[in-house]
């Protein structure tokens, strides 16, 4: 990784006014994060070009850091605050609070100050910095703000095959912890501090530190199943020479924005849109044909659970199925092999798989209310 470090160090030296020491320390921390991602990603490890991936991911983080550096201390804080506020706006006010717009902004301010402290602790922990470390110069501050942006968007696995951004989970917990009587005080204090800009970034963090005591521990079995689905999908894409789709999927897992994915893969918006459509096509083939048992187990939608359908939806599903499809379903529920089922139905295995694909697709549409245009697919 020495070449990647030299790239990061050189760019920081040329693009900032920071000392050689600070540039080296920031470059080293970025490289540590990138190396950790590369080591943990089986896709990157099996790609045969770990250094190329490290270079792409390092450049992405470097560009984020330099963007905040160019904005400066004040504008950078405003930019980060605005980005995170937009994400959590709908989550920070509990249903029982009928707050004004100004009151909601005050809640967001309160929540984010605690989140900034959490992010600083995460940066210290993950880069093995001293527990008392705080950004002292502009480049260190830019590094921290870029890290906070990425930290906020990390996706946390949840039961049922779902995931959510970390900052959203934090905001939801913060909202649940607000007492009902807060609605009385929030309006009275909405204007307090509105024009107070005399405190520094570190003062705001230290003054508002809160420990987020949210237990997000997930079932290890669920986490393992989730990772197995990811590994199987990447393997499926690569075995069929869809390496561009596999790369796109890996970047989607990192929760990067569309613009960031385009920049890393070197695609135009039109090319990225075409790649996204191809990925969705192969994703559906994987989920409904190649390894449907694993995916449906992950979604709690296997045959033992009526393909994830409610009782009324299952009835609709059976009514819409032809007698041949109903018989196929019975044989599948009886754990018969594809060869045995094909012989029973008097068709080829390929024809059988096509019929089963159609049945699973129909169940998927009913489960996600595609017919009525309601809801969104869990696969997307």
Residue range 7-33, pLDDT digits in tens: 999 999 999 999 999 999 999 999 999
Range in 121-125, 195-199, 244-248, 276-280 with the lowest mean pLDDT? 195-199
pTM of the prediction? Answer: 0.53
- Say what the pLDDT of residue 365 is: 77
- Say what the pLDDT of residue 370 is: 43
pLDDT cut 90: percent of the chain above it? 19
State the average pLDDT for the chain.
Answer: 76
Q: How sure is the predictor about 210, in pLDDT bands with cuts at 50, 70 and 90? A: very low
276 versus 299: the higher-pLDDT residue is: 276
- Say what the pLDDT of residue 25 is: 95
Q: How sure is the predictor about 93, in pLDDT bands with cuts at 50, 70 and 90? A: low
99 versus 314: the higher-pLDDT residue is: 314
Contacts 24+ apart (CB under 8 A), 180-187: 180/96, 180/97, 182/97, 183/96, 183/97, 183/98, 183/99, 183/103, 186/97, 186/99, 186/103, 186/106, 186/107, 187/99, 187/100, 187/103
Place of tokens 């030296």: 13
């Amino acid at each position: 990784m020495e070449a990647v470090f030299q790239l990061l160090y050189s760019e920081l030296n040329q693009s900032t006014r920071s000392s050689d020491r600070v540039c080296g320390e920031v470059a080293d921390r970025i490289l540590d994060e990138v190396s950790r991602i590369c080591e943990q990603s089986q896709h990157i490890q099996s790609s045969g070009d770990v250094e190329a991936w490290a270079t792409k991911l390092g450049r992405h983080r470097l560009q984020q850091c330099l963007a905040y550096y160019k904005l400066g201390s004040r504008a950078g804080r405003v930019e980060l605050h605005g980005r995170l506020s937009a994400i959590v706006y709908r989550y920070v006010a509990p249903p029982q609070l009928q707050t004004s717009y100004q009151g909601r902004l005050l809640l967001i301010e309160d929540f984010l100050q605690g989140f900034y402290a959490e992010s600083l602790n995460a940066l210290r922990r993950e880069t093995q910095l001293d527990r008392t470390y705080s950004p002292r110069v502009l480049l260190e501050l830019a590094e921290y703000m870029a890290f906070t942006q990425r930290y906020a968007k990390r996706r946390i696995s949840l039961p049922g095959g779902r995931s959510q951004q970390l900052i959203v989970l934090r905001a939801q917990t913060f909202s649940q912890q607000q007492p009902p009587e807060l609605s009385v005080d929030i309006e009275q204090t909405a204007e307090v501090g509105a024009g107070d800009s005399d405190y520094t970034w570190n003062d705001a963090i230290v003054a508002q530190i809160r420990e987020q005591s949210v237990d997000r521990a997930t079932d290890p079995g669920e986490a393992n199943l989730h990772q197995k689905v990811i590994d199987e999908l990447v393997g499926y894409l690569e075995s069929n020479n869809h390496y561009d789709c596999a790369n796109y999927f890996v970047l989607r897992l990192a929760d990067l924005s569309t613009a960031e994915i385009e920049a890393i893969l070197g695609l135009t918006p039109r090319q990225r849109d075409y790649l996204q459509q191809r990925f969705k096509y192969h994703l559906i083939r994987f989920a409904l044909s190649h390894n449907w048992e694993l995916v449906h187990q992950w979604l709690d939608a296997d045959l033992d659970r009526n393909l994830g359908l409610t009782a009324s939806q299952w009835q609709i599903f059976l009514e819409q199925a032809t007698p041949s499809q109903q018989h196929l379903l019975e044989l599948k529920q009886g754990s018969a092999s594809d060869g045995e089922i094909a012989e029973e139905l008097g068709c080829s295995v390929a024809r059988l798989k096509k019929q089963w694909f159609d049945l699973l697709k129909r169940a998927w549409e009913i489960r996600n209310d595609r017919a009525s245009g309601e809801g969104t697919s869990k696969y997307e």
